[in-house]
Amino acid sequence: MQVASVVVEIPARALDRRFDYRVPLEWEGRVAPGQRVYVTLGRRLCQAYVWSVADVDGPAARDLKPLLAVVDDTPLLTAELMDLVAWLGERYGASTQACLQAVVPAAFRLQPQRKYRVRPDFRGLPPDDLQPLWQALRREPLSYRQVLARHGPDAAIALERLLALGCIEEAAAGRDQVGARQIWFAVPTGSLETMRAAATERSRRAPRQARILEALAAAWAEAGCPPGGVPLTALSLRPSDEPVRALAAQGMVRLEAREVSRVPEAAAGRDERPAALTRWQAEAIRRLSARVVDERFSVHVLHGVTGSGKTEVYLQVMEACLAAGGGALVLVPEIALTPQMVQRFVGRFGPQVAVLHSGLSQGEKRDEWMRVRRGAARIVVGARSAVFAPVENLRLIIVDEEHEPSYKQEESPRYDAREVARWRMERCGGTLVLGSATPSLQAMHEVERGRADVIPMPQRTNGKPLPPVTVVDMREELRAGNRSLFSRALRQGLEEAVGSGRQAILFINRRGYAAFLLCRSCGETLDCPHCDISMTLHRGRDGAWLQCHYCGETASVPAVCPQCGEPALRPYGVGTQQVEQALREQWPTWRVMRMDVDTTRRKGAHQQAISRFADGDADVLVGTQMIAKGLDFPNVSFVGVVSADTMLAVPDYRAAERTFNLLTQVAGRAGRAEAEGKTVVQTYRPEHYAIQAAAHHDYAAFYRRERALREAFSYPPFCEITVFWAIHPEERLARSAAQRFERELRRRLGEDGVTVLPAVAAGVGRVEDKYRYQVVVKYSHWVHVREGVMAAFRTVDEKMHSAGGTCVLDVNAGRIG
Ligand SMILES: Nc1ncnc2c1ncn2[C@@H]1O[C@H](COP(=O)(O)OP(=O)(O)OP(=O)(O)O)[C@@H](O)[C@H]1O
Ligand SMILES: [Zn+2]
Ligand SMILES: [Zn+2]
């Protein structure tokens, strides 16, 4: 007798374990790991994933409850993905259910209310023993639960048989939350002659039947062979319509339901293949292609300066991968921000590419996922979560802009797509390529330790040098009497670019008008009533308002300071809106465009904005980091950074790294084609090493300095950091939970190679009226501390949970505070 061990899909902590069910005899041999099944847990009907199947004998197995249905014929999850789910749970301390939800698109989740009804196209009668249930379903569609309640537990099997015989179907959306889309086809059964004769014969007597036959005959004549069928929708007919049913009953046509994709086939764009590769590109392609073919695990850091043509390298290595029979996965930081790159992949590989992005509806995601699962699409391009795509024979994963923080997921399971990619390549014996102009400290450290090699591309494809960067000390500007947002150098750069018909980009890492309002009389800042953070000033057509960027709370702008009553509130900290306004005031004839979260909320707005700017619809583009990544605008000759200091001021050990990366990326948007590029960076801290290194395009200098600091103060990559948060509306409870976690940790972990920092209020100590306390743990290997950390977490978490609060564990944390 077979017993299936399953994971139920209900996301409750107490249910995060395996449950055993008996496999009914008729399904023995049909049940496999990765398959979805229906089971009852207590009285609850739910979907579950088969984890393992074992042959077990004895009464214990016979007493188990049976599986109620097998949802998938072939397992939805491959063995590799099942192992990945298990690994995710261990690596990030997350429940198996949460990991499954991360891996499988939401469309595959069970819809709680399914009903079964008689299939409208079914003629005849089912076998005798199935008739009672069938008759009942003819009277009214019933849910699974109703079927079991009214017809007893054996009805589960009867239902399955009726389904298998095509007598009944699931109503509405089908099995999954969103099912496959099906279209009915009429398929000819006889010869072309019989069909024509039948059409003529019916032209009077049954003209509507005749029309169907004529359409089939026409399709036949056009194809020159028996057509695969004609979709009924093309004839504005449904399978239940009288003439269709009549023809089917007479055996003139066969009706067939076929699955079709909801995703319009990617319009294969132009494939722009460069006439000749640079020598660096050629060398990179040679080395990487050799690795893709040899089927051994390897990691490579493709360190290519901005505009060095990394995309072309990816494309050609992918070609080598496909030629060797492998599948490939490309991760980009955010699909909406990289439309140009996605177009190039589709241009080269056409319908073999599946693009997974958040703009897809659930049904579209499902269809793309299935296209990948079935091997019809062998290349997947997507953001973070695409790292779970079920690519067949996966041999190559490319992570573009590998240094980007968006590869870390900030909700459970708090995975890092780069680590997942590494795990998958290690498991499949594949090649991992980490591409960046500014490789992360982590990636470079791997190179140092001999766990990865680096492939340099130090020159731009246009043969021109990287754009010269001028660092402007804003204190000097003040001394020289310039109080405007723009230094003289920045102003000159803008005017030169726009004056010569080129375009310019201005970067400022803050949306809104100003960071905060400060009272110049008493020093009060206007903070969010629900969060310990000041509110951002926004300005629109209908005036100004304040908004909290943490919880979204808005407020009107008071005329006087609420603290001291003086009319002395002034805006501080420049945002995109203010830059846009200043540009319009100073250069009224210029066409200015702004791109930030506020201007691109609408679906497709990103892409539109990017192509409008690429088409020359604006002279100056103002934007946040959204415009820093991987965009290729050949006509941009000037880039200005309005303030480099906002990024440096973030209280995070990675602030310098982020600043260096962003400055390098932003500067890299200039001078990518014929136009010479130029960049101006404004700052109050011109001597800072991150700014200096970026200005000199000196990655090595930055790396040396930053590495030394990280080592001295013991930060990643010289250790790993895990952060615990206790979150509760009552400060006292949040604090004591964090303190308890700290004590539990110290007791369990000892001192050896582990540092537990004292429990403190988080950087923003209150968000949405909830207090946040944190504990930071530093260690060298998660496997050494996992048990201790997880045990401490469970103890505190349970108590916190019953007290109405939340605990969060961020393993290998993306941020602290
Ligand atoms: N061998 C080549 N000869 C000429 N042009 C090329 C060549 N290879 C790529 N290009 C072009 O160079 C430009 C820059 O390439 P790409 O966008 O891949 O750079 P990148 O290395 O990804 O830079 P970034 O890090 O800034 O995104 C593109 O317009 C691309 O079409
Ligand atoms: Zn005041
Ligand atoms: Zn708030």
The string of pLDDT tens digits covering residues 399-456 is: 999 999 999 998 889 999 999 999 999 999 999 999 999 999 999 999 999 999 999 9
Quick one: 677 and 767 in the same domain? no
Pocket-testing residue among 461, 629, 674, 679, ligand 1, by greatest number of atoms within 8 A of Cβ: 461
Q: What is the mean pLDDT of the chain?
A: 88
Structure tokens at 655: 């602030």
The rounded distance, in Å, linking the Cα atoms of 281 and 320 is 14
Domain count, the chain: 6
The average pLDDT across 752-758 equals 90
**CATH number for the domain that contains residue 687:** 3.40.50.300
Quick one: 499 and 523 in the same domain? no
* pLDDT above 80 (res 367): yes
In a domain, 733, yes or no: yes
In a domain, 26, yes or no: no
**Is 551 annotated as contributing to ligand binding?**
yes
Quick one: 186 and 123 in the same domain? no
The answer to whether 714 and 778 have CB atoms below 8 angstroms apart is: yes
- List Cβ neighbours of 180 (8 Å cut-off, separation of 6 or more): 174, 259, 366, 367, 370
Ligand nearest to the CA of 667: 1
Q: Among the listed ranges 185-194, 299-308, 378-387, 479-488, which one has the minimum average pLDDT value?
A: 185-194
Gap from CA of 550 to ligand 3 centroid (Å): 5
In a domain, 244, yes or no: yes
Kindly give the residue spans of alpha helices, DSSP state H, lying in 509-654.
Answer: 576-586, 605-614, 645-648
* pLDDT above 60 (res 1): yes
Distance of CA 607 to the CA centre of its chain: 17
Quick one: 502 and 372 in the same domain? no
Quick one: 523 and 599 in the same domain? no
Q: Residue 485, CB half-sphere, CA atoms under 13 Å: how many?
A: 25
Kindly give the residue spans of alpha helices, DSSP state H, lying in 374-514.
Answer: 417-428, 441-448, 474-479, 488-499
| Pairing mode, strands 770-779 and 754-756 | antiparallel
In a domain, 29, yes or no: no
The per-residue pLDDT for 380 is 96
Residue whose structure tokens are 């005036």: 543
Pocket-testing residue among 632, 662, 672, ligand 1, by greatest number of atoms within 8 A of Cβ: 632
Quick one: 299 and 371 in the same domain? yes
Ligand nearest to the CA of 769: 3
Q: Among the listed ranges 250-259, 318-327, 352-361, which one has the minimum average pLDDT value?
A: 250-259
Q: Among the listed ranges 80-94, 328-342, 477-491, which one has the minimum average pLDDT value?
A: 328-342
Domain end (from 225, 260, 295): 260
Pick from 512, 517, 515: which is nearest to 540 by CA? Answer: 512
Give 517's strand partners.
Answer: 571
- Closest atom of ligand 1 to CA, residue 340: 17
Edge to edge, the sheet with strand 44-55 lists 19-22, 2-8, 44-55, 36-41, 69-70
Gap from CA of 459 to ligand 1 centroid (Å): 10
| Pairing mode, strands 678-683 and 469-473 | parallel
Q: Quickly state the pLDDT bin for 255 (edges 50, 70, 90).
A: confident
Distances 394 to 317, 322, 371 between C-alpha atoms, Å: 14, 10, 15
The answer to whether 66 and 52 have CB atoms below 8 angstroms apart is: no
∠ CA 317-261-323, nearest 5°, is 20
Phi, psi of 345 (to 5 degrees): -65, -45
Pocket of ligand 1 (CB under 6 A): 272, 274, 276-278, 281, 304, 306-312, 437, 461, 630, 632, 668, 672
Domain with 408 in it: 279-457
In a domain, 272, yes or no: no
pLDDT, tens digit, for every residue of 150-168?
Answer: 888 888 888 888 988 888 8
Residue whose structure tokens are 């009552």: 730
Higher pLDDT, 53 or 106: 53
In three-state secondary structure terms, 22 is: strand
The rounded distance, in Å, linking the Cα atoms of 132 and 140 is 13
The per-residue pLDDT for 750 is 78
How much is the ipTM here?
0.96
Give 380's strand partners.
Answer: 329, 354
Quick one: 503 and 620 in the same domain? yes
- List Cβ neighbours of 561 (8 Å cut-off, separation of 6 or more): 519, 521, 522, 524, 567, 568, 569
Query: Tell me, what amino acid is at 804?
Result: G
The rounded distance, in Å, linking the Cα atoms of 532 and 530 is 7
The per-residue pLDDT for 170 is 65
- List Cβ neighbours of 718 (8 Å cut-off, separation of 6 or more): 445, 710, 711
The per-residue pLDDT for 113 is 59
The answer to whether 444 and 301 have CB atoms below 8 angstroms apart is: yes
The answer to whether 522 and 563 have CB atoms below 8 angstroms apart is: yes
Quick one: 356 and 247 in the same domain? no
The per-residue pLDDT for 203 is 83
Quick one: 598 and 685 in the same domain? yes
pLDDT, tens digit, for every residue of 296-339?
Answer: 999 999 999 988 999 999 999 999 999 999 999 999 998 777 77
* pLDDT above 60 (res 172): no
The per-residue pLDDT for 630 is 65
The per-residue pLDDT for 106 is 85
The rounded distance, in Å, linking the Cα atoms of 618 and 601 is 20
The average pLDDT across 554-569 equals 92
The rounded distance, in Å, linking the Cα atoms of 40 and 58 is 22
The per-residue pLDDT for 27 is 82
In a domain, 320, yes or no: yes
Gap from CA of 517 to ligand 2 centroid (Å): 10
The rounded distance, in Å, linking the Cα atoms of 401 and 439 is 8
* b/e burial code for range 439-456 (CB count within 10 A of at least 16 → b): bbbbbbbbbeeeebeebe
| Ligand 1 atom 22: residue of nearest CA | 310
In a domain, 74, yes or no: no
pLDDT, tens digit, for every residue of 111-135?
Answer: 545 678 787 778 888 888 898 898 8
- List Cβ neighbours of 554 (8 Å cut-off, separation of 6 or more): 545, 546, 547, 548
The per-residue pLDDT for 178 is 54
Q: Quickly state the pLDDT bin for 174 (edges 50, 70, 90).
A: very low
Pocket-testing residue among 277, 310, 311, 434, ligand 1, by greatest number of atoms within 8 A of Cβ: 311
Length of the chain: 817
Higher pLDDT, 516 or 13: 516
* pLDDT above 50 (res 462): yes
Pick from 760, 708, 710: which is nearest to 734 by CA? Answer: 760
The per-residue pLDDT for 766 is 92
Enter the DSSP assignment of 381: E
Pick from 53, 57, 56: which is nearest to 70 by CA? Answer: 53
Domain end (from 681, 711, 741): 711
Domain end (from 233, 260, 287): 260
The rounded distance, in Å, linking the Cα atoms of 780 and 235 is 67
The rounded distance, in Å, linking the Cα atoms of 471 and 681 is 5
pLDDT, tens digit, for every residue of 688-730?
Answer: 999 999 999 999 999 999 999 999 999 999 999 999 999 999 9
The per-residue pLDDT for 704 is 96
Phi, psi of 183 (to 5 degrees): -125, 140
E strands present in 532-613: 536-540, 543-547, 554-556, 569-574, 592-595
Pick from 249, 26, 48: which is nearest to 159 by CA? Answer: 26
Q: Which of 59-68, 235-244, 340-349, 727-736 has the highest mean pLDDT?
A: 727-736
* pLDDT above 60 (res 264): no
Ligand nearest to the CA of 536: 3
Quick one: 412 and 439 in the same domain? yes
Structure tokens at 167: 């007598």
* pLDDT above 50 (res 13): yes
Gap from CA of 504 to ligand 1 centroid (Å): 19
Gap from CA of 557 to ligand 2 centroid (Å): 14
Ligand nearest to the CA of 549: 3
The rounded distance, in Å, linking the Cα atoms of 578 and 83 is 51
Quick one: 559 and 592 in the same domain? no
Quick one: 433 and 339 in the same domain? yes
In a domain, 451, yes or no: yes
Q: Quickly state the pLDDT bin for 173 (edges 50, 70, 90).
A: very low
| Ligand 1 atom 10: residue of nearest CA | 309
The rounded distance, in Å, linking the Cα atoms of 226 and 189 is 9
Q: Quickly state the pLDDT bin for 396 (edges 50, 70, 90).
A: very high
Pick from 176, 325, 196, 308: which is nearest to 252 by CA? Answer: 196
The average pLDDT across 759-787 equals 93
